[in-house]
Amino acid sequence: MTIALLLVYVAIMVGIGFYCRRHATDVNGFVLGGRAVGPWLTAFAYGTSYFSAVIFVGYAGQFGWKYGMASTWVGLGNAFIGSLLAWVILGRRTRLMTQYLESKTMPDFFGLRFGSRKLKLVASVITFIFLIPYTASLFNGLSRLFNMAFPGIDYTWCVIVMAILTAVYVIAGGYMATAINDFIQGLIMIVGIAAIILAVLNVNGGLVGSMAELSKLSAETSAGTMQGAFTSFLGPDPGMLLGVVILTSLGTWGLPQMVGKFYAIKDEDAVRKGTIISTLFAIIVAGGCYFLGGFGRLFLAESDFKGVYDAIVPKMLEVSLSPALIAVVLILVLSASMSTLSSLVLSSSSTITLDLINEAKKKKMGEKEKLNVLRTFVGVFIILSAAIAILQYKSSIAFIAQMMGVSWGTLAGCFLAPFMYGLYWKKTTRGSVWAAFVWGLAVNLFELLVWTGNVRVSGAFMGYFFASPINAGVLAMLGGMIVVPVVSMFTPKMDAKLVDNAFACYEKPTTVAQRENLG
């Protein structure tokens, strides 16, 4: 049954890719779907790009184990901060300004909004480099469930097939193909999450029975032993939980593959509807994933836990699910991974083609040449990602939540503040954008040195923010919100004409009738 469902799934994905070829005849169509994508497709594309195998396997397992039922706050934060507020604050303004400036990528936005080719080039390099660990983490999360469903098949083949399938429909149909596939994949995720939660709770007698069993467990906190810690309102460590909520929720505001969804949405009405749809999707999928992860300790004893958080959710599923539901779960995680992968490769290839190669050439590329190079780099990025995933799997590096934290923290730390201020504040300077880039890179690279044991930190402040890539990412993002306005006060102002031109997109001239006077 699993094989049959996978074959049907593959056929649908490939068919959609070829169906959407007519929408990908120029760069605007290939990268942005002609800026005419409706609310349902955009909302589901946003949500499925947000929630991948990293969330379902890595984050749900890790934070459910650490915080119990309180980890559900992460899912709700993703829904109301990472989806609702992101759409309300960034959606409309991003769509208006990027179309007015004819910007197709986030690095392109920085170059046009702040009149700097160098900003554009550096932003594109940061984007390309730090999307790679994110992509590797997608494959790694899938490997655990694949080995559970197909113990006799080498996971390498799963990576290869997934890479080929994603390449086919993205290269053929571009953004529109990914958006339609994301919609289908999102529906699978909603149904799958609901079925899994019911099956997992049923093992211990439903919700009440599962909560009763979980309440028997205690945790060691700074204040001593806490009985029932994993069913408490804020869990055993509220401070660290807050860091997770901020990184995974606010971080999406600065991720190129997420913000890019706003570039393509059709109109004002689509933004309003998309806001509601995206928020509801996040409540179900993200809330469901973290709620599910909260019961991890009922399926894996403390004595059996060996520090591999990625093994927790697969263990829960192995105990709880029938073969039919395991097939559904595999397709769910495959859907989540492929939707995010397609978004990442499209974002990365468009950045490399439009912001690096086209800028570096003395003679700018024509429309057809850009399309060919775009498609080529989609393939290159997928091959590179698959190769890294296979090497990573063979070397048994499986701590995917930390890898995602590094990627999110760096990208959001560099881009979130200058992008948001660039949309809203005319006094944002070019120097402040450079300062934000330096700040985001410095914080996260320093954290890597701490994480790998090359540097030691002391003190409450340093100890908290450099305790993990997640907390360092929070410091990079929140610090960037301070760095940009402060540096803008002491650096050369932008050319008034350039700024006024960018903000003219928010003002529409109208003709008003005036009473004739005798003069």
What local confidence, expressed as pLDDT, does residue 79 receive?
Answer: 96
Q: What CA–CA distance (Å, rounded) separates 350 from 324?
A: 39
The encoded tokens of residue 190 equal 């909603």
Secondary structure (3-state) at 224: strand
- Condensed to tens digits (0 to 9), the pLDDT of residues 432-464 reads 999 999 999 999 888 888 876 777 877 777 777
Mean pLDDT score, 102-106:
91
Residue 329 scores a pLDDT above 50: yes
Burial of 382 (0-12, 13-18, 19+ CB in 10 A): buried
Residue 396 has pLDDT above 70, yes or no: no
Average pLDDT over residues 224-252: 87
Q: What is the pLDDT of residue 401?
A: 47
The predicted structure's pLDDT at residue 119 = 93
Q: What is the pLDDT of residues 123-156, one digit of tens each?
A: 999 988 888 777 766 766 666 666 666 767 777 8
- According to DSSP, the residues that pair with 219 across neighbouring strands are 226
Per mean pLDDT, which range of 93-102, 268-277, 500-509 is the poorest? 500-509
pLDDT grade, residue 88 (50/70/90)? very high
**Number of H-type helices and E-type strands within the chain:** 24, 2
Mean of pLDDT values over 331-345: 79
Question: Mean per-residue pLDDT for 69-82?
Answer: 95
DSSP sequence for 382-443: HHHHHHHHHHHHHTT---HHHHHHHHHHHHHHHHHHHHHHHHH-TT--HHHHHHHHHHHHHH
Question: Distance (Å, rounded) from C-alpha 143 to C-alpha 345?
Answer: 20
Residue 484 reports pLDDT greater than 90:
yes
Mean pLDDT to the nearest integer, 335-346 = 80
Cα torsion for 359, 365, 368, 370, to the nearest 10°? -20
Instruction: Place 113 in a pLDDT band, splitting at 50, 70 and 90.
Output: very high
What percent of the chain lies above the pLDDT cut of 90? 36
Can you read off the two tokens belonging to residue 309?
A: 């958080």
pLDDT of residue 49: 86
CB-CB neighbours of 85 under 10 Å = 18
Give residue 2's pLDDT band: very low, low, confident or very high (50, 70, 90): low
Q: What percent of the chain has pLDDT over 70?
A: 92
Distance CA 311, CA 296 (A): 10
Nearest CA to 333 out of 346, 349, 317, 320 is that of: 317
pLDDT for res 25: 80
What average pLDDT does the structure give for the chain? Answer: 85
Check pLDDT > 70 for residue 400. no
* pLDDT value of residue 403: 64
Q: Which domains does the chain have, with CATH numbers?
A: 2-21+31-503 (1.20.1730.10)
pLDDT digits (tens, 9 = 90+) for 280-312: 999 999 999 999 999 988 888 776 777 777 778
- How much is the pLDDT for 381? 83
Task: Label each residue of 328-385 as H, E or C.
Answer: HHHHHHHHHHHHHHHHHHHHHHHHHHHHHHHHHCCCCCCHHHHHHHHHHHHHHHHHHH
Q: Is 320 exposed, middle or buried (0-12, 13-18, 19+ CB in 10 A)?
A: buried
**DSSP conformational letter for 25:** S
Q: Any residues with CB less than 8 A from the CB of 518 and at least 6 apart, and which? A: none
User: What pLDDT does 398 receive?
Assistant: 46
Least reliable range by pLDDT among 277-286, 378-387, 415-424, 506-515: 506-515
Contact between residue 268 and residue 421 where contact means Cβ atoms under 8 Å apart = no
Cα 65 to the center of its chain, rounded Å:
22
Tell me what pLDDT residue 1 has.
62
- Mean pLDDT in residue range 240-266: 90
Q: Report yes or no: 277 and 43 within 8 Å, Cβ to Cβ.
A: yes
When pLDDT is cut at 50, 70 and 90, the band that residue 416 belongs to is very high
Q: What is the pTM of this model?
A: 0.89
- Rounded to whole angstroms, the Cα distance separating 197 from 178 reads 28
pLDDT of 279 over the 90 cut? yes
Check residue 100 and give its pLDDT: 93
